[in-house]
């Protein structure tokens, strides 16, 4: 009788964590980015649809003030530098530098929330004024939700990296968080144009 093939092997030598495409969490983060990017695209499509309905856009209102939205744009683009640095030192598993990077990114993230609060106050419309006001608040609120989500994750990771529970997979969590922050920042660039530039061109 022919002997059945033996498929059992020892995998103890394999690493317990990995960065990038070798990590299941990385693929999960990528999936979130694709889903949430689609959500932004659908909201932008709704904005353009509504823009074609009235004769003027915004209808009887001034566009959002430039100051806070542009300050947010500059702040978020500048945050890419410490974020990319944090990602690099997390790949190197340099605990001291990772702690510094996470503290900086936590502070930057909280600052973006303060600026976002001022942005809502400078939209020159209420969410219930008309369709324009509703879609503007939805777009800004949608992005604010992503800010809160990532900043919450960053704060939790920062706290964990200052405990005795630091292990290799925590560095993977940090790099995945950095990838998501890049998405949040880059998503703001077209949204900023949609909210602050487009109304002044039509």
Q: How much is the pLDDT for 149? A: 93
The domains of the chain, with CATH numbers, are: 64-201 (1.20.120.80)
Tokens linked to 75: 């702040």
Is residue 58 within 8 Å of 132, Cβ to Cβ? yes
CA distance 169 to 19: 9
- pLDDT (tens digit per residue) in 23-73: 667 677 788 788 888 989 999 999 998 888 877 778 878 899 999 999 999
* Total-model pTM: 0.84
Q: How far apart are CA 156 and CA 80, in angstroms?
A: 20
pLDDT tens for 137-156 read 999 999 999 999 999 999 99
Using the predicted structure, report yes or no on whether residue 14 has a pLDDT greater than 50: no
pLDDT of residue 1 exceeding 60, the answer is no
């Amino acid at each position: 009788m022919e002997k059945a093939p033996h498929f059992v092997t020892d995998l103890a030598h394999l690493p317990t964590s990995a960065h990038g495409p070798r990590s299941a969490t990385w693929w999960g983060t990528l999936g979130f980015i694709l889903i949430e990017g689609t959500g932004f695209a659908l909201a932008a499509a709704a904005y353009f649809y509504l823009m074609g309905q009235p004769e003027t856009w915004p209808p009887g209102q001034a566009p959002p003030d430039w100051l806070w939205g542009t300050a947010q744009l500059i702040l978020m683009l500048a945050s890419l530098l410490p974020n990319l640095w944090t990602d690099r030192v997390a790949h190197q598993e340099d605990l001291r530098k990772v702690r510094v990077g996470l503290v900086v990114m936590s502070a930057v993230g909280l600052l973006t929330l303060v600026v976002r609060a001022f942005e809502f106050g400078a939209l020159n419309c209420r969410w219930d004024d008309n369709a324009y006001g509703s879609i503007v608040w939805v777009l800004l609120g949608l992005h604010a939700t992503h800010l809160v989500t990532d900043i919450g994750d960053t704060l939790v990771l920062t706290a964990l990296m200052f405990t005795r529970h630091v292990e290799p997979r925590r560095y993977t969590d940090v790099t995945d968080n950095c990838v998501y922050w890049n998405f949040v920042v880059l998503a703001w660039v077209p949204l900023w144009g949609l909210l602050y530039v487009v109304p002044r061109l039509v």
